[in-house]
Structure 1
Amino acid sequence: MKKLLLTFLMLSAVFSARAQKLAVNTDVLMDACMVPSVGLEMTVGNWSTLGLNVLGCNKPYGKNIKLLAAQPEYRYYFSGRPMHSLFVGVGGVGAIYNASIKGKVYKGIAYGGGITFGYVMNVTKRLFIDFHAGVAAVGYNRKEYFAGDNYGDYVVGGLNKPNASGYYLMPQRIGISVAYILK
């Protein structure tokens, strides 16, 4: 995850001289689910933007869930004007999580990539609403065990080993974002 953030910061430094717009956003649907999110999106050409959303939670609605995730995304706008009208995006996701659901513990990492479609509606010159939805293939490596099993101390060769891995085809970045153009 740290490498992902570092890569985004380096890319933003490279493109900042050319960037025409820089916007900050939050996903209203994720915020309503008690998973606060914040994002940054900047133009990297006449038709495209590069963005990064970070989200996380700790015990939303009193449930024993912890999550920290980053979602970089490249968007291509069909209108010829970034942050306006229809777009398609290609993005990734990286997450670490720890959840207890119905007596079973899931602790691990998730990673993957997918495609997003959406529409950006301008409210004012600097304020806009972004409707988006997508699908992604997300892989995972995690420890799964029942809460009373004491599996959390499972070590092989000095390393904690996951006992479950695989992938899911799942929804990605379904939401409504409110964004404000800073520059």
Structure 2
Amino acid sequence: MRMKKLLFVVVVIISSVGAKAQMLALNTDVMLDAFQTPNLGVEIVTGERSTLGLNVFGNHNPWGVDMRITGVQPEYRYFISGRPMHKLFVGLGAIGADYDISWKGKKYDGMLFGGGLTFGYVLNLSQRFNIDFHAGFGLLFYKHSEYYKNDSYKEDFYVGGVPETNADGYMLMPTRIGVSVSYILK
């Protein structure tokens, strides 16, 4: 339910900003696609040297691994080259995700949010196609229920029908690493 509300807000924001945009591009991160995590991004020119982008992603049991992730990543980019969607850029982004992962005999069920910096380079292939190389790092805050697979989650981690978290914290880690292919619509 949370993701449906978030998706609705994202569509409304993109629609209102996109109406005044000079240039609009759709993209997909081929590295996320390679990890069986479908994703879609929109990038809108907001100034002579800047863009505003939003990427949504999610997966469910990629390669048979017991995992589910859904998330969103808004990002502001400043292009050092002096032209948006062209050459070097630095970005300021955020991330929010909901996850349920089984890893090495443990289950992690929770959410994370955070922000960080992204650096990259956009290679223009033609008037309509770009390849975007990017890497970013940042601070992520998480809150989840962490338990062994054999634990009785329903009995041990629910209080009054509400799931209790037993792990929270933060970590400095990559927030965005990839190669995106973009198609410029207008």
Q: Bin the TM-score by the shorter chain.
A: over 0.9
Q: 1:165 aligns with which of 159, 164, 168?
A: 168
In 2: Cα distance, 1:87 partner to 1:140 partner: 28
Q: Within 5 A, what are the aligned runs for 1:6-155?
A: 6-153=8-155, 154-155=157-158
Helix, strand or coil at the partner of 1:82: coil
CA 1:110/1:158 → structure 2, altered by over 3 Å: closer, same or farther? same
Q: What's 2:178 paired with?
A: 175
In 2: Cα distance, 1:101 partner to 1:36 partner: 21
Give the aligned residue type for 1:170: M
Helix, strand or coil at the partner of 1:149: coil
- Offset from partner CA, 1:102-155 (integer Å, 9 cap, x none): 211110001100110000000000100000001011111100001111024422
Q: Which runs of 5+ in 1 are unaligned?
A: none
TM-score of the pair, normalised by structure 2: 0.92
CA 1:94/1:16 → structure 2, altered by over 3 Å: closer, same or farther? same
In 2: Cα distance, 1:82 partner to 1:69 partner: 25
Identity of aligned residues (%): 52
In 1: Cα distance, 2:127 partner to 2:91 partner: 23
TM-score of the pair, normalised by structure 1: 0.93
In 2: Cα distance, 1:5 partner to 1:86 partner: 30
Give the aligned residue type for 1:21: M
Give the aligned residue type for 2:94: G
In 1: Cα distance, 2:168 partner to 2:43 partner: 32
Helix, strand or coil at the partner of 2:150: helix
In 1: Cα distance, 2:78 partner to 2:6 partner: 21
In 1: Cα distance, 2:98 partner to 2:39 partner: 15
Give the aligned residue type for 1:172: T
Give the C-alpha shift of residue 156 in structure 1. Answer: 2.7
Size of the aligned set, in residue pairs, is 183
Q: Which runs of 5+ in 2 are unaligned?
A: none
Assess if the C-alpha contact under 8 Å between 2:141 and 2:169 holds in 1: yes
